[in-house]
Structure 1
Amino acid sequence: MFSLCEPAFFTRLRDARRVLIAGAGGGFDVYAGLPLALALREAGKEVHLANLSFADLYGLDLEAWVEPDVAAVGPDTPLRGDYFPERTLARWLREHDQPSTVYAFPGTGVGPLRDAYRALLAHLGGVDAVVLVDGGTDILMRGDEHGLGTPEEDMASLAAVAGLDEVPQRLVACLGFGVDAYHGVSHALVLENLAALEREGAYLGAFSLSRESREGALYLDAVAHAQRHTASRPSIVHGSVAAAVRGDFGDVRFTERTRDGELFVNPLMTLYFCVDLPGLARRNLYLDRLEKTALLRQIGSAIEEFRDTLPRQRQPRAFPH
């Protein structure tokens, strides 16, 4: 039983002493976990950060690899180019006297990624909880929607962690409702999926990231820091969320990357939508097809093959109000 005085997400983590928060979809997804990590550390928990990486991790020095397919990225980890979200976050963490290692997984299929998770958990001495964080909400798509967003990395992470039955608590937290519209996601269908999860007891509710909170203020600082240090490819997702946290609205401009599109920054982007990870995995219609994948491209092929079998897709719906 939950109480209105405490979001259900944090109730589920109340007894956890050691928590791993991992970006599910690559890129800057791990930044969606930063406010959660700060809040949990303030509550006295040991929190580690990880991310499915888009960086060229195989260009790292050997000493960066702590386990097979697990790199420990610090503020001074060398890698060519400025696009290295894990290192950028590690540098911000060091500047703010926070533990500054961000673990990184290369993009692989489900089997190797699950092995990498297990190797990291062993390296950390075990954890009581794993939280996957998604910048956006396309991890909530079950597979029969007209648009799935960019599902390959999210589904690799979801399937990998769904198989970690030894971890007592496994949760998903999504930040940035609406940002996946650019990739064809119907957010009316996102809400329909959340309603179905609620009926099954797997929806853990929502709560807002406020700029008046310590965690919100530090998140804004971290996103601004990342934009300065990744000038060639700043995050559109977190640029949008940060704008919403500041109270901006509509077609907000913060990078040239969005010059050919129109954004709809709004307060819903500041909400964390939280679900039980095993419950979400059970609702997915094709996750079992990904079990034997070794490469990320095999996940894309498996999703396409599944969608070819559908008699129909759930069509986008407009909000009625």
Structure 2
Amino acid sequence: MTNEITKTVFLAGCGGGYDIFGGLPHYFKIKSSENYDVTLINYSFTKRHLLSKYSQQLTTLLFRVDPRLDVIWLTDDVYFPEQRLANELQVPIYAILCDYDETRIELIIEAYKYLIQERTIDELILIDGGSDVLLTGNEKQLGTPVEDMSHARAVHLLSSDKVKSKYIVVIGTNLEVGHGVHKSDIDTRLTALSSHAIFTWLWQYEHDDAVRYYVDIFTRCCPRHSIVHSLICAALQGRTGYYLPEHLRSRITKSIVSIGEETCVSTGYHFDDVMRENVYFERLTPTLNLRQVHDVILIAQGLVNQCSENEEYTCGSTCIETCNYKPQICVLMCRSEYHDITLPKDLVETNDFPWIEHVDKVARALDAFSPDRNGWIDKSFHI
């Protein structure tokens, strides 16, 4: 009997923060077969200075975070989930820096190419805690799609010769309500994707070792830094309704998310089945940084949510112009002109947005991808 590797898998946290923790039950299931080679990757909100000091830099954005014995510096106020997870699992975690100014889609691609080297990867699985990665841009309100979609776009652009199969896996889809997404929009999207689901797994704390290991590890990794996984773990341990874990009460005054069985459901899809209906995905070009990705998504939202003549816009002004392309925040109709957007030169030149010649500036809605400021998330923390 040999231990020859039969399948190589990349398991990656999709949208930053603690998303990689949502892959742990899958990781433990995969590792139960000795013939799988699994690499853990996370799109990382950890600050560059910490990554540079305590891990090995491999590319512009890619860092190898190894287990460490000297962790006196890793106090509860230090945000570094990759280091905590590496210490728990005693395996390296590969962190791809997620920074609004530094990170470009092409640099995420560079990081993956470094990890792939001369190999062929059998499966690349993106894990999202929430449902940002599933949303199309047609919804009334998006959550925090910039991180998920910049990462997903980079994965999409990896050659199929180097990555045979790409998947998207979600857990806790209803939690995106805490980021302002309408529950009805989440349900509509899940229904639309239901025929494409390749598995649906109801996580159970009492009856599944892989799920229990995930809860135990997350609990030891400074759980106050992740609202999403704190609520998933609470639901797994039998909490329901608007329950708020004690360790989150310094961050959140009240929860607007009702947790329950649906919080514990993990669903997997083929990558292309999810991205096929996205209205802006193809416009995310490799040279864009995250601020520009944000702007492209916001502008696409304007195209999707077209307004009728004389409709009141989000800033409170009223449309007084006639235009075939009426983005809801077009400054030709919105006179306040608060917040400018600088469009990428290559995007303007492609004329993907036919109304662009009429618009010198586009007003940025202050909370376009954020919940109500009185909602459940304290935006000074990552989720």
On whether the aligned pair clears a TM of 0.5, the verdict is: yes
Distance 1:214 1:135 in 2: 20
For the aligned residue pairs, the C-alpha RMSD in angstroms reads 2.3
Distance 1:296 1:139 in 2: 15
After TM superposition, give the deviation of residue 258 of structure 1 in Å.
2.3
After TM superposition, give the deviation of residue 278 of structure 1 in Å.
1.8
Distance 1:118 1:222 in 2: 30
Q: Output aligned runs, 1:231-246, within 5 Å.
A: 233-246=224-237
Q: Output aligned runs, 1:1-321, within 5 Å.
A: 17-44=7-34, 45-59=36-50, 60-61=52-53, 64-76=56-68, 82-94=78-90, 100-107=91-98, 108-122=103-117, 125-164=119-158, 165-166=160-161, 167-198=163-194, 202-211=196-205, 212-227=207-222, 233-254=224-245, 255-256=248-249, 257-312=251-306
After TM superposition, give the deviation of residue 169 of structure 1 in Å.
1.0
Q: What's the secondary structure of 2:211's corresponding residue? A: helix
After TM superposition, give the deviation of residue 198 of structure 1 in Å.
4.3
Distance 1:63 1:151 in 2: 28
After TM superposition, give the deviation of residue 63 of structure 1 in Å.
6.3
Distance 1:270 1:129 in 2: 24
Distance 2:55 2:214 in 1: 30
After TM superposition, give the deviation of residue 296 of structure 1 in Å.
1.0
Q: Counterpart of 1:3?
A: none
Aligned partner letter, 1:86: E
Aligned partner letter, 1:238: H
Distance 1:41 1:63 in 2: 25
TM-score, structure 2 length as denominator?
0.70
Q: What's the secondary structure of 2:40's corresponding residue? A: strand
1:272-301 residue CA offsets vs partner (Å, 9 max, x unmatched): 021111221222110111113431111101
Distance 1:137 1:27 in 2: 14
Q: What's the secondary structure of 2:304's corresponding residue? A: coil
1:55-87 residue CA offsets vs partner (Å, 9 max, x unmatched): 113441496112332101122298876210111
Q: What's the secondary structure of 1:131's corresponding residue? A: strand
Distance 1:305 1:16 in 2: 45
Asked which structure has the greater RCO (Cα within 8 Å, sep 6+), the reply is 1
> Comparing 259-268 with 101-110, which one deviates more in the overlay?
259-268
Kept after mapping to 1: 8 A contact 2:174/2:186: no
Q: What's the secondary structure of 2:301's corresponding residue? A: helix
The runs of at least 4 aligned residues of structure 1 exceeding 6 Å deviation read 77-80
1:89-115 residue CA offsets vs partner (Å, 9 max, x unmatched): 111112xxxxx1110001223222122
After TM superposition, give the deviation of residue 170 of structure 1 in Å.
0.4
Aligned partner letter, 2:210: E
Kept after mapping to 2: 8 A contact 1:30/1:50: yes
Unpaired runs of at least 5, structure 1: 1-14, 95-99, 314-321
Comparing both structures, which one devotes a greater share of its residues to helix?
Answer: 1
Q: Counterpart of 2:342?
A: none
Aligned partner letter, 1:128: D
Kept after mapping to 1: 8 A contact 2:137/2:279: yes
Distance 2:192 2:6 in 1: 27
After TM superposition, give the deviation of residue 189 of structure 1 in Å.
2.2
After TM superposition, give the deviation of residue 121 of structure 1 in Å.
1.6
Aligned partner letter, 1:55: T
Kept after mapping to 2: 8 A contact 1:206/1:271: yes
Unpaired runs of at least 5, structure 2: 308-383
Distance 2:183 2:239 in 1: 20
Kept after mapping to 2: 8 A contact 1:109/1:298: no
After TM superposition, give the deviation of residue 251 of structure 1 in Å.
2.1
Kept after mapping to 1: 8 A contact 2:244/2:255: no
Aligned partner letter, 1:237: V
